[in-house]
Amino acid sequence: MAKRTPLISGNWKMHHDHLEAIRVMQKLNFRLPLDAYKTVDVSVHPPFTDLRALQTLIDVDEMSIILGAQHCHWEDKGAFTGEVSPAFLKKLNVSLVIAGHSERRELFHETDEMVNKKVLAILKHEMTPILCCGETLDEREANEADAKVQAQVTAGLNGVAPGDVARLVIAYEPIWAIGTGRTATAADAQAMCKIVRDTVKNVGGSDAAAGVRVQYGGSVKPANIKELMEMPDIDGALVGGASLDPDEFAAIVTY
């Protein structure tokens, strides 16, 4: 079967205010040849305060870059001070929303149950979740990586219709490789991404497993992207640090 269209996503985390974001986006767009989008989907996930400016820029300059967000609440509206509704993101033409990034799980105590509610809410508003999973170094060394990832994926997909699972994105991001300069070897990343796909098969069946796009994330750089993308179960990358610089990110996208 033909491989799925790869998706390479830049998660800017808490970097680039809206003015910097405009500059970075213009440079990125300039660096990416139109041909690039024929073979790969590209998304950027800026902080919330940048979204309106980037939506306008994408619209006016007819950019092919997909607008993404890093997080949202699961309710449409209500007394949730500081939170952002998925409905508001949809209004800004956001198409992809990250759910359950390890930094949100660790620093903001997001549980599997909360992540699952977000996945369902994102789908309800006709956007695509990028569901994140991944083990800590301790879990890896204790041979618990497989079980951790299986549990996170299974919990994250609870109640999602098989047809929706097929159009989902799941990012395998080993926590020990995030921002550390340590990347999983391509073979290890492949083995874990296969576990993600097998878990999707158990939950949603063969079609869902064949359709779901599995990204690898954790110190992806221009130097290691090609090798990762050659793996049969890796359909893209979720890039942190290297996505902040338009030259570096463009080099990753055009691997």
Which residues are near ligand 13P by CB under 6 A?
Answer: 11, 101, 173, 178-179, 217-220, 238-242
Side-chain half-sphere CA neighbours of 229 within 13 A: 21
3-state SS, residue 14: coil
The Cα–Cα gap between 130 and 9 comes to: 10
**Active centre residues (catalytic):** 101, 173
135, 153, 196 from 75: Cα distances, Å:
28, 21, 27
Toward ligand 13P, which CB reaches closer, 44 or 242?
242
The Cα–Cα gap between 255 and 252 comes to: 5
**Nearest approach, Cβ of residue 218 and ligand 13P (Å):** 5
Toward ligand 13P, which CB reaches closer, 161 or 223?
223
The Cα–Cα gap between 50 and 108 comes to: 21
The Cα–Cα gap between 132 and 215 comes to: 9
**Nearest approach, Cβ of residue 237 and ligand 13P (Å):** 8
Written as six digits, the tokens of 161 are 């219709």
Toward ligand 13P, which CB reaches closer, 59 or 106?
106
The Cα–Cα gap between 102 and 237 comes to: 15
Toward ligand 13P, which CB reaches closer, 61 or 106?
106
Looking up tokens 């508001």, which residue turns up?
Answer: 88
**Nearest approach, Cβ of residue 112 and ligand 13P (Å):** 18
**Nearest approach, Cβ of residue 91 and ligand 13P (Å):** 24
